[in-house]
Amino acid sequence: MTIQTENPLQSLIDAHTAGKAEPAWLSELRADAADSFAALGVPTVRHEEWRYTSLKSLLALKLAPAAHAAVLDADLKPYFIAGADDIRLVFVNGHFDAALSKLPTLPQGLLVAPLSSQFRTDDEGLPSKLARYADHHAQPFTALNMALFSDGAYIRAGRDAQLETPVHVLYVATAPQATAPRTLLLAGENAGLTLIESFVGLGKAAGFCDAVCEIVLQQGAHVQHTRLLRDGVAHHIGWNEVRQDRDSNYTHNSISLQAQLARNDVNVMLTGEGANCTLHGLVLGAGSAHVDNHIIVDHVRPRCVSKQLYRSVVDERARSVFSGKVIVRPGAAGTDAQQQNNNLLLSDDARADTKPQLEIYCDDVKCSHGATSGQLDAAAVFFLRSRGLDVQQARNVLTYAFANEIIEQVTIEPVRAHLEDVMRQRFHGLLGD
């Protein structure tokens, strides 16, 4: 990896680590991550995994270290999700905001809390769990996150524990802050959890969010995870590390509604036989937005199923990148892996790069991948116009339809309804509603 001679993000770490009162294990972890970030440096487009995504605009930002800021309930209202709002954790610039959060008493075996509240008390041994899955020795932004980390959501379900109510975690940043939120979700044997992470930027100046999410599913656990990049997201880098044991079931919906520069990594390791993983993604890009979805699904054990379906809609000068890799390890017989990426380009200057990849080291597998990039179907546009819709309405209807195929995959009803509303507003007035 190329090391930048000057790394402006380094100065954030120096400012952050000064004078922290925290447990020794966390300080050690933080120091280790900081060393790792200094050694790894910021990747450039010469690095294969960052070929399509330049971080120059990020490095040019004048960023303040994360600090407290007052945010009102009203500021966040558009981002609350009706019907999925009974358990809510709000972090403002990386710091837990109790007044904006809702934490009802939960049945035994379930924990939803800010990580910071469990540093010293967690009986499950947080020191052996936090930052033990996403590898900060290999990934520079995972390292930077750990070095800058202040707080995040901790969600834990013990054996057989089911939490029907979705947990909504809002990571709010007031620009031009640099924030480093981190989510840790541990689903025990046959446990069931639903997690929604919303990333919201308030204020006009560009900020930077470096997020990490670690999710561990024990045997037979079910986790639904939705990740929303909302308004005001300027620069976003998010790493999602998922470990799946035997017969577990993980669903991921990554919805990028707005971002100047976003990179979403999803790294799933199917370490138990018969695990099932479904990844959906939608990118809506306009202006000069650049959104990069980078996915690795690693079939380590036999008879696991993985599905990837990502779509992007890029308008004006926006650009989307899809890089999805499926690895089938020796011995992972009976693997069933599918990858599909479809891109809709609405303008001549929009661009979509797609790179679906399969690495198969095993016979007896079923793998497929495919990608399409294209414009709106002219015949369909004419058909709609011939029924009285004007050009813009016709284009909106077809764009909505293309994008909505992903929204429809969201199985958490209140989230789907919320996103359908957002989409209707985006493509306003298209259906007379």
Residues contributing to the site for other proteins (CB under 8 A) = 377, 379-380, 382-391, 393, 397-398, 400-402, 404-405, 408, 430-433
Between 107 and 432, CB nearer to other proteins: 432
Between 28 and 377, CB nearer to other proteins: 377
User: What is the rounded distance in angstroms from the CA atom of residue 272 to the CA atom of residue 220?
Assistant: 10
State the nearest-atom distance from the C-beta of 312 to other proteins, in Å.
15
User: What is the rounded distance in angstroms from the CA atom of residue 136 to the CA atom of residue 143?
Assistant: 4
Between 21 and 378, CB nearer to other proteins: 378
User: What is the rounded distance in angstroms from the CA atom of residue 13 to the CA atom of residue 10?
Assistant: 5
State the nearest-atom distance from the C-beta of 231 to other proteins, in Å.
24
What phi and psi values does residue 186 have, to the nearest 5 degrees?
A: -120, 115
Between 221 and 282, CB nearer to other proteins: 282
Q: Where are the alpha helices (DSSP H) in 352-390?
A: 378-385
Between 72 and 431, CB nearer to other proteins: 431
User: What is the rounded distance in angstroms from the CA atom of residue 94 to the CA atom of residue 181?
Assistant: 6
Pair 236, 205: CB distance under 8 Å: no
User: What is the rounded distance in angstroms from the CA atom of residue 185 to the CA atom of residue 430?
Assistant: 39
Q: Which two tokens stand for residue 122?
A: 């967690």
State the nearest-atom distance from the C-beta of 379 to other proteins, in Å.
5
Between 132 and 424, CB nearer to other proteins: 424
CA distances in angstroms from 103 to 9, 89, 317, listed in the order given: 34, 7, 42
User: What is the rounded distance in angstroms from the CA atom of residue 33 to the CA atom of residue 210?
Assistant: 14
User: What is the rounded distance in angstroms from the CA atom of residue 95 to the CA atom of residue 93?
Assistant: 6
State the nearest-atom distance from the C-beta of 278 to other proteins, in Å.
19
State the nearest-atom distance from the C-beta of 253 to other proteins, in Å.
17
State the nearest-atom distance from the C-beta of 400 to other proteins, in Å.
7
